[in-house]
Amino acid sequence: MKITQDGDNVNISDVKDLCSVNSDSFRHEVCKSLPASVKTIEVDLSQTRFVDSCGLGALIGVYKTATRNGDVTLRLVNPSAPLQQMFELTRLHRIFEVVQR
């Protein structure tokens, strides 16, 4: 996983899987890298093959941590069709912004 920061924006990429094995470390690493004034968090899912319920929980945990200090957009970028469908079935596309670029 790669985390970069550009001002008030945090970009996360190179996430292969987001599951029970790594969800806690994902949440911890992302949350500790968030600036106090974060406005946007982008998670590039173009390389992500698998997300389970623990992975969804990690994304929600990051969102909850980030929104404690105000309005934050968590954007999921380039999810595969199965991941896109999962976000729609769980209605998480109403919480997260899901985009294809």
Sequence ranges of the domains in the chain: 2-99
**CATH homologous superfamily, domain 2-99:** STAS domain (3.30.750.24)
Query: What pTM was computed for the model?
Result: 0.93
pLDDT at 9 over 90: yes
41 Cβ partners below 8 Å, 6+ apart? Answer: 9, 10, 12, 30, 34, 62, 63, 66, 72, 73, 74, 75
- pLDDT digit string (tens) for 54-96? 999 999 999 999 998 789 999 999 999 999 999 999 999 999 9
CB of 49 within 8 A of CB of 84?
no
- Residue keyed to tokens 């985390």: 3
